[in-house]
Structure 1
């Protein structure tokens, strides 16, 4: 029992030391900065694309899911911008020009590109150069937005389908449970996409599965850390008193930093587990 506890402690210590050696805390700050610049263009692109196929107002009902994870001041800023985009002219949302949509996607790409650089640091992989770097980031951005649209469609459509079933009093609880299952599934698959195709490593044994230990751990820690940060801001940290009118911006930036650090933690966990598994395999082969 004590031996197992010491082994877990050493593994966690090695994991944190690996993150420190790769300056992932500093990289997380850079990712958070670019995420701050990218989030609202990403929302514009997401709402514009959704508006082509359905009523953008449906997005508004799903935004409340984020209230439990994003600090109140930051959520207010986020929610205000979503309302502004949704309440825009319907023709603008439904028939956004390719140029404006392309600009939004390109701005979003900058945030994804920063995250890819962090993943390359985790795996000590060389950065893609020039056009390849921009293309990889843009392709991953498009995939993440497409996945978000599919998840959003599922969150909206599945409850409507369930409403037709004779579930009685259990209907509301079933709706809520289904929404969370879909959200959690979308986050895990999104992390799987990032971990699998983000890093520029060529080594086969470092390839990550769609559902990985790092993604599961990152999901749990991210949920807990976001809740704890919101609780801290509600009871102790009054950013508006210190930063004034930009308090909500600072709170959102800090939340992005926590999120980026947790995502890179999950990547480091996957990398460390793959490395240890590979070493054990080599040792077993040599023993034979």
Structure 2
């Protein structure tokens, strides 16, 4: 019973900390910039992948989101991805540095908004001038690079498995490994964001690549996204209320939920680190 009460108090402290730092409002800002950044990010990812391999792979792997994203929002993204993939080779397969740079620059705005949210979590000062732009752009490139590595693994594994005498189990193994790779990529992506996003200078607040906040955020994001999709499918009336922009509103709400969960994970890491530091400092104080 004591552990339950202690756990309840800790969760309450996390939510209170998020409320004091206005993370719900910041999540709305992150969602807005994510909405503006999602399609340039997909354009950059497809362009880079299309130089070396078939960009249709991206559309195939995008189907993994179908179980979590709202149906209307998924169709909106999927339609745009197909439009980008079906573009001619001169504008997609061998995208000029200028157009690719523009896509990366637009994507950077979404990452920069998330970094501001992380700074709020840690009560850290914002980077100024060129440092802020450089940090957001570098983190954007790292996240896109990690996505490309994950896609490469997903493509290579079926080829490698086909060479092994696994028989009817090959497809089951591939499906499992695909989910493992995607899960690992998300956890490491969150680790990258949590570790290098905030502008704090305190060593004990540094986050490991695999952190409790990342694991909790991944679990809650999956559960809440699924519940939100279920709600929209059965009770939501976005299309009736918002008409033709219902899918856009659903996607924006999903981004808001996702941003809030990411900041929740960061808050959890921050509070755990501070508690651990306080416990270590107590014997020295006495």
Structure 2 length normalisation: TM-score? 0.99
Q: 1:36-77 deviations in whole A, cap 9, x for unaligned?
A: 000000000000000111111222211111101110000000
Partner of 1:34: 33
Q: 1:120-162 deviations in whole A, cap 9, x for unaligned?
A: 0000000000110000000000000000000011111112211
Partner of 1:20: 19
Partner of 1:164: 163
| Structure 2 unpaired stretches of 5+ | none
Q: 1:85-135 deviations in whole A, cap 9, x for unaligned?
A: 001102321211111100000000000000000000000000000110000
Q: Equivalents in 1 of 2:243, 2:204: separation in Å?
A: 49
SS at match of 2:208: coil
* Between 57-66 and 142-151, the greater mean CA deviation after superposition: 57-66
| Structure 1 unpaired stretches of 5+ | none
Q: Equivalents in 2 of 1:231, 1:201: separation in Å?
A: 39
Q: Equivalents in 1 of 2:249, 2:283: separation in Å?
A: 51
Partner of 1:76: 75
Root-mean-square deviation over aligned CA pairs: 0.7
Q: Equivalents in 2 of 1:277, 1:97: separation in Å?
A: 49
SS at match of 2:168: helix
Structure 1 length normalisation: TM-score? 0.98
Displacement of 1:286 in angstroms is 2.5
Aligned residue runs from structure 1 range 1-288, under 5 A: 2-287=1-286
Displacement of 1:284 in angstroms is 2.1
Count of aligned pairs: 286
Q: Equivalents in 1 of 2:51, 2:154: separation in Å?
A: 18
Are the equivalent residues in 2 in contact too, given 1:159–1:178 (CA < 8 A)? no
Q: Equivalents in 1 of 2:184, 2:147: separation in Å?
A: 11
Q: Equivalents in 1 of 2:110, 2:246: separation in Å?
A: 22
